[in-house]
Chain A
Amino acid sequence: MMSRSFKNKLFKGAVHASAALTVLFLIFTIGYIFMRGLPHVSWKLISSQASYISNIIGIFPNIMNTLYIIGLTIAIALPLSIGAAIYLTEYTVDDASRMFARIIAFAMETLASIPSIIFGLVGMMIFTQLFGIKQGVLVGSLTLVMMILPTIIRTTQESLATVPQEWRQGALALGAGKWFMIRTIVLPSAARGIVAGVILAIGRIAGESAALLFTAGFGLVLHDFFRALTSSSASLTVALYVYASERGETDVAFAIAVILMAIVLALNTFTKLLTKFWGNENVSVNVSAEKAADEANRAASHLAGIGVCDRSKRPQPMVQR
C-alpha cells in the first residue's frame, strides 16, 4: 500500500502537471503559429487579391469579407437581441409573460448548444434553397445571426439585471413612462454589458468557419459590399481552410492564422481594458441604497445627472396616462 504522504505528493504532482500541460499547449500553439506565420505576413499578402494569372496570393478580399460579415451580422443581431433581452428583464410582470420568458430562455439554451455545422446546413437550406438568395455575405450573416443571438441576449440580460431596481422605481415615480425609463435609465446603464456581449460575438463570428462554408461560400474574388451580399465570399477562416487543405499553401494558411490570432488577442485585450476602465460603479450604488429615502434621493440625483430631470426635458407627469 502507498503511504499517505506519497499519495499526497502524487495528487499534488498530478494537479501541477495538468496545469503545466495546459500552459504548455497554449505556449506551443501560439508560439508555433506566430513562428510559422509571421514571416509570411506581408503588406502584399494583406493588400492584394489572389490571381491565377499573375500567380499571386492575396487575402485582401477575405479580410473584407470577414469585416462585411461581422458588420452585417451585428447590425441585424444587435437590435433583435437587445429587444428580446429588454422584454425578458423589463416586461415579464405577469404569469403569462413569465411563462413566455421561460420558453424564450429555453429556446436560447437550445440555440446555444447547436453545433455550427448544423447552422450552416439549415442556413443553406432555408436561405439559398427555400428563399432562393444566392450564396454570399447576406446568407452567411443571416445564418450567423441565429448563432450569436443567445450570446448577445444573455450578456445584455445580465447587465440589465445589474441596473439597480431603485433607479427604475425612481424614474417611474417621477412620472417617466416605461419605454422612456428603459431608454434613458436602463439601457445607458447597461451599455457596458452590451458592448462586452458584442465583443464576444465578434470573436465568435471572426473565428467561425463551419457555418459559413455553404452559406457565404468559397469565393476568393474581391467585391464591394453590395456585390458581396450575393456573391460567394470566403471569410478569413474559410480561406485558411481552402489554402491549407485544398491548395497545399501552408505558408499562406499560417499567415492567415496569425491574423486571426491577432484579432482574438486584440478583442481579449480590449475586453480587459474595458472592464478595468469601467470598474465596478454599480456595486457601490447597490450597497449604499439602504433606506427608502436614500433610494429616492439617489434615483432623483441620478436622473438629474444623466439629464432626464433637466427642466427643459422633464416629462410631464400627469399627461403620461
Chain B
Amino acid sequence: MEKSAKYIFLSCGIAAITFVVTISLYLVIAGIPAIREIGLADFLLGTTWQPTGSNPQFGIMPFISSSIFGTAGAIIIGVPVGILTAVYLAKIAKGKTASAIRTAVELLAGIPSVVYGLVGMIVLVPLVAGVFGLPSGATLAAAIIVLAIMILPTIISVSETALRAVPREYEEASLGLGATEIETYLFVSLPAARSGIITAIALGVGRAVGEAMAIIMVSGNVANMPSLFESVRFMTTAIVSEMSYAAVGSLHRDALVSIGLVLFIFIMILHGVMHLAVNGGFKKRS
C-alpha cells in the first residue's frame, strides 16, 4: 500500500510532464511539414496570406507584426496605468478604499474574454469609428484598447505584491533624506520592486500575445499589414477564424498549425526572457 501510493503520486506528476512534452512535440511535428513546403523565409516574411486562391500564398508576416504591434500598444497603455494603480493600492490607499479597488481588480481579472470582446464590439468599435472618422472602427486601435484593459488586472496585482515586499527601511531612509512620499514610492519603491514589475509586464505580454476571442470580435479580421486604423488579423485570430473551414490534410490547415507553432515559440522565448530577467534582478539585489 505504501509503495503503491508513492508510485500513484509519482505517475500523477509524470502525467503533468507528459502533457507539456506532448503539446510541444505535437506542435513541432504537425507544424514543420507546412513550413517545409512553403519555405521558412516565405512563410515567416511573406506579406500576403491567400490560402484559398488559385495561386495560394502563405505569408504570415501580417499576423506576426499585428500581434507584435497589438501587444506593444497594449503594453504602452496598460503598463503605466497598471503600475501607478499598483502604487496607489500598495502605498497610498487605506482600508476600505483599498479593499474595494482590490475586489474590483479581481473581478476585472475574472471577466471572460468573450465578454470583453462583446463590450468592445458594441461600445468601443463604434466609438473608435466616430472619434477618428473611420468607415469601420474594427481596427488595430480597438484591439489595443481591449488588450490594454485585459492585461490591467495581471499587471496591477503582480506589481502590488512586489511593491508590498519592498523593505520598509528603504522607504524610511528615502523619507529621512527629505524625499516626499510620492517621490519615495516612485523613485525608491518602484526600482526596488523591479524584478516583480518585470514579471508583471512579462505576464501581461504573455496574456496579450495569447489572447484570441476578445480581439477577434473587435479587430475586423482582415489579413492586412498592421496599421493603427486598419482592420488586422493576429496570429491567434488567424487560427480561430480559419480552422473551422480549412479542410483536414490541406496545406492551408497545416499552415494554420504552423502559425500555432510560431506563437508557441514566441511564448517560450518570452518565458525564457522573463526567467533570465527575474533571476538576474534577484541576484543584483542580494
By a CB distance below 8 angstroms, the chain A residues around B177 are none
Contact of B37 with A by CB under 8 A: no
* Contact (Cβ within 8 A) A33 B110: no
For B16, B26, B216, the residue with the greatest tally of chain A CB atoms inside 10 Å of its CB is B16
Q: Which chain B positions have C-beta within 8 A of A158?
A: none
Given contacts A15-B87, A33-B119, A109-B271, contact A207 B113 (CB under 8 A): yes
Which B residues from 80 to 112 make CB contacts under 8 A with A? Answer: 80-82, 84-85, 87-89, 92-93, 101, 103-108, 110-112
**In chain B, residues 165-188, which have Cβ atoms closer than 8 Å to a Cβ of chain A?**
180, 182-183, 185-186
Q: Please report the total number of B residues contacting A with Cβ < 8 Å.
A: 81
Interface hits, B38-85 → A, CB 8 Å:
80-82, 84-85
User: Which of B16, B84, B213, B260 interacts with A149 by CB under 8 Å?
Assistant: B16
> B217 contacts A244, CB within 8 Å?
yes
Check A81 for interface membership: any CB of B closer than 8 A.
yes
Min CB distance, B277 to chain A, in Å? 14
Chain A nearest Cβ from B105, distance in angstroms: 7
Of B12, B21, B104, which one neighbours A81 at CB under 8 angstroms? B12
A114 to B212, CA, bound (A): 13
Q: Does B210 contact A (CB under 8 A)?
A: yes
**In the assembly, what is the distance between CA of A21 and CA of B145, in Å?**
13
Does B15 lie at the interface of the complex (its beta carbon under 8 Å from any beta carbon of A)? yes
Are A207's CB and B110's CB within 8 A? yes
Please give, as numbers and ranges, the residues of chain A lying within 8 Å of B121 by CB-CB distance.
244-245
Which of A6-14, A41-49, A50-58 touches B? A6-14
Complex CA gap A87/B12 in Å reads 8
Given A84-B12, A237-B114, A126 contacting B27 (CB threshold 8 A): no
Q: How far is the CB of A106 from chain B (nearest CB, A)?
A: 8
| Interface flag for B267 (CB, 8 Å) | yes
List of B residues within 8 angstroms of A237 by Cβ: 112, 114, 213
Q: Cβ of A210: which chain B residues have Cβ within 8 Å of it?
A: 113, 212-213, 236, 240
Pair A25/B108 contact, Cβ less than 8 Å: yes
Residue on A nearest B207 in the bound complex, by CB? A115
B11's nearest neighbour on chain A, judged by CB, is A83
Give me 7 other A-B pairs in contact (C-beta within 8 A), A15-B84, A268-B106 excluded. A11-B183, A18-B84, A19-B85, A22-B101, A22-B152, A149-B19, A237-B213
**Residue in contact with B12 in the complex, picked from A80, A241, A244, CB distance below 8 Å:** A80
Q: Which 3 A-B pairs have the closest CB atoms?
A: A115-B210, A83-B12, A207-B112
- For A67, list chain B residues within 8 Å (CB): none
In the complex, B229 has a CB within 8 A of chain A = no
> Are A213 and B110 touching (Cβ within 8 A)?
no
The residues of A that contact B106 with a CB separation of less than 8 Å are 268
Q: State which residues 183-208 of B face A: CB under 8 Å.
A: 183, 185-186, 206
Contacts A116-B212, A121-B243, A254-B118 given: A111-B20 contact, CB under 8 Å? yes
Distance, CA A80 to CA B213, complexed state (A): 29
| Residue from B22, B122, B209, B244 with most neighbouring chain A CB atoms (10 Å) | B122
In the complex, the chain A residue whose C-beta lies closest to that of B221 is A245
* A23 touches B (CB below 8 Å): yes
Set of chain A residues within 8 Å of B118, measured between Cβ atoms: 33, 240, 244, 250, 253-254, 257
- In chain A, positions 51-107 with a C-beta closer than 8 Å to chain B are 79-84, 86-88, 90-91, 100-101, 103-104, 107
Task: Write out the residue numbers on chain A whose beta carbons fall within 8 Å of the beta carbon of B21.
Answer: 107
User: Which listed residue, A84, A109, A110, A244, touches B117 by the CB 8 Å rule?
Assistant: A244
Task: Identify the interface centre among A33, A101, A119, A267: most chain B CB within 10 Å of its CB.
Answer: A33
Asked whether B115 lies within 8 Å of A257 as measured between CB atoms, the reply is: yes
With A and B bound together, what is the CA distance between A261 and B104 in angstroms? 13
Q: Judge if A113 is at the interface, Cβ distance under 8 Å.
A: yes
Residues of A within 8 A of B111 (CB): 29, 207, 260-261, 264
A30 at the interface (CB under 8 A from B): yes
**Chain A residue with minimal CB distance to B217?**
A245
Task: Tell whether B257 is near chain A: CB-to-CB under 8 Å.
Answer: yes
A110 to B23, CA, bound (A): 11
A–B pairs, 26, beta carbons within 8 Å: A18-B80, A18-B88, A19-B85, A22-B156, A87-B13, A91-B6, A91-B10, A104-B13, A110-B20, A115-B206, A115-B209, A115-B236, A117-B240, A118-B260, A125-B26, A129-B248, A177-B2, A206-B112, A209-B112, A210-B213, A237-B112, A237-B114, A245-B217, A254-B122, A261-B111, A264-B112
